[in-house]
């Protein structure tokens, strides 16, 4: 079962399963599938899906299931994502942010999804040091970035997600703000 709530339509139009060539039995989707409105979906092999109501014997329903507004927003975004140039652009923006942040710590990136750990560039040392140091340092970075007008997730363990709404100007401003904290 693949949880593609974050990776779905983000690391490739077909999600992590397309990028890594895996065909899961079931896939869970959220976020982008609703085009900004609250929507989630799951799907998978016919033999599993045919077990669900109304065809099968496993009951599944919800008040807002298939909500027309959310599904219309989702369909509209998914149509836009048919353009492969969008993924090239997301890759470029992710790479730009990665290159700009790399001098300040360990950056791990897949497409337009990345994490930043400020405690050095060796992944093994980062893990052990992180447990002791990183939480407070990250909290200070979070507050610094917020004061600079940049809102990242308030947890070290969340990713940074540059999107099509983030142009080079926003990416460079983010790099400059991290630099003024850690540089």
Question: Can you tell me the distance from the alpha carbon of 37 to that of 69, in angstroms, rounded to the nearest whole number?
Answer: 8
For 19, the enclosing helix (H) or strand (E) is helix 15-20
**Residue number, nearest CB to ligand PLP:** 5
**Number of other CB atoms surrounding residue 143 within 10 Å:** 12
Decide whether 113 or 145 has the Cβ nearer to ligand PLP. Answer: 113
Question: Can you tell me the distance from the alpha carbon of 150 to that of 168, in angstroms, rounded to the nearest whole number?
Answer: 14
Q: Residue 5 interacts with ligand PLP (CB under 6 A)?
A: yes
Q: Residue 30 interacts with ligand PLP (CB under 6 A)?
A: yes
Q: Residue 170 interacts with ligand PLP (CB under 6 A)?
A: no
Decide whether 83 or 157 has the Cβ nearer to ligand PLP. Answer: 157
Question: Can you tell me the distance from the alpha carbon of 173 to that of 143, in angstroms, rounded to the nearest whole number?
Answer: 15
Which span sits near ligand PLP by CB under 6 A: 2-10, 76-84, 99-107, 142-150?
2-10
Q: Residue 40 interacts with ligand PLP (CB under 6 A)?
A: yes
Q: Residue 37 interacts with ligand PLP (CB under 6 A)?
A: no
Q: What is the DSSP string of 6-45?
A: TTBTTTBTTHHHHHHT---SEEEE-GGGGTTSS--EEEE-
Which span sits near ligand PLP by CB under 6 A: 3-11, 12-20, 101-109, 123-131?
3-11
Q: Which two tokens stand for residue 91?
A: 């890759």
Decide whether 30 or 44 has the Cβ nearer to ligand PLP. Answer: 30
For residue 38, the minimal CB distance to ligand PLP (Å) is 8
Decide whether 36 or 56 has the Cβ nearer to ligand PLP. Answer: 36
Give strand pairing partners of 43: 27
Decide whether 31 or 137 has the Cβ nearer to ligand PLP. Answer: 31
- Strands (E) in 85-175, as ranges, are 106-110, 113-117
- Among the listed residues 177, 168, 115, the one whose alpha carbon sits nearest the alpha carbon of residue 141: 177
For binding to ligand PLP (CB under 6 A), which residues are involved?
A: 3, 5-6, 30, 40
């Amino acid at each position: 079962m693949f949880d593609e709530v974050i990776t779905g339509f983000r690391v490739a139009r077909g999600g992590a399963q397309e990028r890594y060539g895996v065909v899961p039995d079931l896939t869970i989707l959220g976020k982008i599938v609703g085009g900004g409105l609250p929507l989630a979906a799951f799907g998978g092999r016919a033999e599993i899906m045919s077990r669900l109501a109304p065809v099968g014997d496993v009951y599944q329903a919800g008040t807002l299931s298939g909500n027309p507004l959310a599904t219309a927003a989702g369909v509209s975004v998914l149509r836009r994502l048919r353009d492969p140039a969008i993924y090239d652009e997301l890759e470029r923006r992710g790479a730009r942010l990665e290159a700009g942040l790399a001098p300040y710590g360990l950056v791990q990136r897949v497409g337009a999804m990345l994490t930043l750990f400020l405690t050095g560039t060796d992944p093994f040392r980062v893990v052990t040091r992180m447990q002791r140091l990183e939480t407070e340092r990250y909290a200070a970075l979070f507050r610094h970035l917020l004061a600079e007008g940049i809102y990242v997730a308030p947890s070290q363990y969340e990713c940074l997600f540059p999107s099509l709404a983030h142009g080079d100007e926003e990416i460079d401003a983010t790099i400059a703000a991290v630099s003024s904290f850690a540089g």
